[in-house]
A = this chain, B = another copy of it.
Amino acid sequence: MSMESIKELCRKGAEAKFSIQGLSADAKNEALLRAADALLRDSDIILRANAIDCEKAEKAGMSSGLLDRLRLTEARIRQIAKGVKEVSLLPDPVGELLEEFDRPSGIHIRKVRVPLGCIGIIYESRPNVTADAFALCFKSGNSCILKGGSDCLHSNIAIAASLKSALKDCGITEDAVGLIESANRADTNFFMQQREYIDVLIPRGSAGLIRAVVEGSRIPVIETGSGNCHIYIDRDADLEKAMPIIINAKTQRTGVCNAAESLVVHKDIAEKFLPMLRSAMERCGVSLFADSLSIPYLPLAGEATEEDFAAEYLDLKLSVKTVSSVREAIDHINRYHTKHSDCIITENPETAEQFLKEVDSACVYVNASTRFTDGFEFGFGAEIGISTQMLHARGPMGLRELTSYKYLVTGTGQIRK
């Protein structure tokens, strides 16, 4: 795409936000149901487009794991359509009255929830994100401009066309969703400069993608996704509770941001706990990287380096650090984590309280798996990503987190003295 046409796409998205933010919940839900139907109706077209992407990717030597993410099937399209339908069932966050108060000056103030505006989403190889991101942005009253991975360009074009046709059928501007039809990095960089039109930019994907967006964007960014999640096994831990949580957090899915990557172990229980850990991790095929105090109990472990403590492995690997107090555990975690999700295993309520208070993560756990950091598990019904920054939203971001607010101030002629 030319720079001119990218700019024009963004301008149209910014213009569309004004009509989208005024839509009723019913109108939005109707359009989402139509969009789900359109995806099913157009599944042949979408599959043909996807076949082109897959063929190109195979020729270019894409790994089988990535190819699997890219490939669509009838069943996967049904899944995507179902996801869009489910968003229609969620409560509409727009217009919610958050606060209401009178002031001595005589003015009356209401604080109400409003859409963010026009949201930019930059993502990688999963074509399902195209429908998913549109559904969440649209339901929360936002227009969106999407820039998917170059690998799934044809799939994304087909999916976006399907969504646009549904909007058109409902008499809603097709500019509610814009797709940057480009496989070009310079175009992505140009897109990230469109601060005049795009209110927020959300990257979804690998740590590398997120870093590139954070560093290159002139639009405010919501940083998502990177997770070096810790589990701290306290001196007062119930080790029978600890082991299933560790196994779940480490092995249930390794490629996700809420998987555990680092264990912190109180030295007083190291002798009892580490041999248990060793055999459990051996059974699960997890390689350990241990510090000097724990390595005698973990003879097969590699030596943990600074890089291990900081690593988001996304793999069957786990670092192990011993500490002599909860204080030291908290300091270690606050130094190496990515502010995503960290957990303490303890039966001591005071220690748990200190950990909850002082660990600076979006989600801090006591005696539960970090894998619960998820929009569905939190009951938000959907998720655009997990924020790891401090501004605006932290942790799982559902529909509410795709909104802002404004103040409505009513008077009868009041002026400031």
Residues of A within 8 A of B (CB): 18, 21-22, 101, 103, 105, 107, 109, 114, 116-117, 195, 199-200, 214-215, 218, 220-222, 238, 241, 244-245, 247-249, 252, 334, 352, 356-358, 360-369, 371-372, 374, 377-379, 389-392, 394-395, 404-416
The answer to whether B248 touches A368 (Cβ under 8 A) is no
User: Given contacts A22-B357, A363-B407, A365-B410, is CB(A105)–CB(B372) below 8 Å?
Assistant: yes
Return chain B residues, CB-CB under 8 Å to A200.
390-391
The answer to whether A116 touches B415 (Cβ under 8 A) is no
Return chain B residues, CB-CB under 8 Å to A416.
248, 252, 369, 371-372, 374, 377
Return chain B residues, CB-CB under 8 Å to A361.
406
What is the CB-to-nearest-CB distance from A214 to chain B, in angstroms, rounded to a whole number? 8
The answer to whether B379 touches A404 (Cβ under 8 A) is no
- Which B residue sits closest to A413, measured CB to CB? B241
Q: Which of B21, B248, B411 contacts A366 (CB 8 A)?
A: B411
- Which B residue sits closest to A369, measured CB to CB? B415
What is the CB-to-nearest-CB distance from A117 to chain B, in angstroms, rounded to a whole number? 6
Return chain B residues, CB-CB under 8 Å to A367.
410-414
Ranked nearest first, the 6 interchain pairs of A and B with the lowest CB-CB distance are A368-B411, A248-B415, A371-B416, A241-B413, A392-B392, A368-B414
Return chain B residues, CB-CB under 8 Å to A214.
195, 218
- Which B residue sits closest to A241, measured CB to CB? B413
What is the CB-to-nearest-CB distance from A80 to chain B, in angstroms, rounded to a whole number? 23
Q: How far is the CA of A103 from the CA of B365 in the complex (A)?
A: 14
The answer to whether B390 touches A116 (Cβ under 8 A) is yes
What is the CB-to-nearest-CB distance from A208 to chain B, in angstroms, rounded to a whole number? 16
User: Given contacts A372-B409, A412-B241, A416-B377, is CB(A360)–CB(B18) below 8 Å?
Assistant: yes
What is the CB-to-nearest-CB distance from A201 to chain B, in angstroms, rounded to a whole number? 10
12 A-B pairs besides A199-B389, A248-B415, A371-B415 with CB distance below 8 A are A22-B357, A103-B372, A107-B377, A360-B406, A363-B409, A364-B406, A365-B411, A367-B411, A368-B411, A369-B411, A390-B404, A391-B391
Which has the most chain B C-beta neighbours within 10 Å: A101, A395, A411, A415? A415
- Which B residue sits closest to A101, measured CB to CB? B379
Q: How far is the CA of A406 from the CA of B109 in the complex (A)?
A: 27
The answer to whether B245 touches A406 (Cβ under 8 A) is no
- Which B residue sits closest to A221, measured CB to CB? B220
What is the CB-to-nearest-CB distance from A46 to chain B, in angstroms, rounded to a whole number? 31
Q: How far is the CA of A410 from the CA of B22 in the complex (A)?
A: 39
Which has the most chain B C-beta neighbours within 10 Å: A247, A362, A409? A409
The answer to whether B368 touches A409 (Cβ under 8 A) is yes
What is the CB-to-nearest-CB distance from A229 to chain B, in angstroms, rounded to a whole number? 12
Q: What are 15 A-B residue pairs whose CB atoms fall within 8 Å in the complex?
A: A18-B360, A107-B372, A107-B377, A116-B390, A117-B390, A356-B410, A362-B407, A366-B410, A367-B411, A368-B411, A368-B413, A369-B411, A369-B415, A371-B415, A377-B416
Return chain B residues, CB-CB under 8 Å to A356.
408, 410
What is the CB-to-nearest-CB distance from A328 to chain B, in angstroms, rounded to a whole number? 13
